[in-house]
A and B are shown apart, each in its own frame.
Chain A
Amino acid sequence: MAASTQTTSRILRVLNDGLGANVTDEDLRGVSRLDDILPLDSIAVLEFAIALESEFGIQFAGEQMKREFFNDFASLTKFLDAPPNPPQ
Chain B
Amino acid sequence: MTSREISLARQQTGEPLFLRSPVRPWFAVKDLMWLAYLYPLRWLARVCSDRFWFGLQRLADPLYRWIHREPIRAAARRMAAGVPASPEAAAALAKLYIRNALQRGFDDLAFGCGRPDAGSHPPLITGLEHLERAAQLGRGVVTFSVHSFATRSAHRALRSMGYPVVVVRARTIPVSFGRFGQWALGGAYTRCLQNLAVESISNDDPNVTLEIARRLRAGWLVHIAPDSRVSATSHLVPFLGTERRISSGILDIARICRCPLLPLSAAYDGPRLRIGLLPPLELHPAPGAEAHTRANLPLLSAELERQIRANPAQWEMWVDL
Contacts and interface: CB of A to CB of B under 8 A. Distances in A.
B88 to A, nearest CB: 44
A86 B115 CA distance: 52
A52 to B, nearest CB: 12
Given A42-B2, A46-B213, A50-B213, A65 B207 contact: yes
A64 B210 CA distance: 9
Contact of B209 (A39, A45, A62): A45
Nearest to B212: A46
Contacts of B209: 42-43, 45-46
A65 B205 CA distance: 13
Interface residues of B, number: 21
B233 A43 contact: yes
Nearest to B258: A50
B252 A67 contact: no
A43 B207 contact: no
B214 interface: yes
Interface string A26-47: 0000000000000101110111
A contact residues, range: 10 to 19
A14 interface: no
Interface string B194-222: 00000000000011111111100110000
A78 interface: no
Interface string B238-277: 0000000000010011001100000000000000000000
A73 to B, nearest CB: 17
A80 interface: no
Contacts of B236: none
B1 interface: yes
Nearest to A51: B256
A50 B1 CA distance: 18
A11 interface: no
A43 B203 CA distance: 12
B210 A43 contact: no
A43 B252 contact: yes
11 contacts: A41-B232, A42-B1, A42-B206, A42-B232, A46-B209, A47-B256, A47-B289, A49-B213, A65-B207, A65-B211, A67-B207
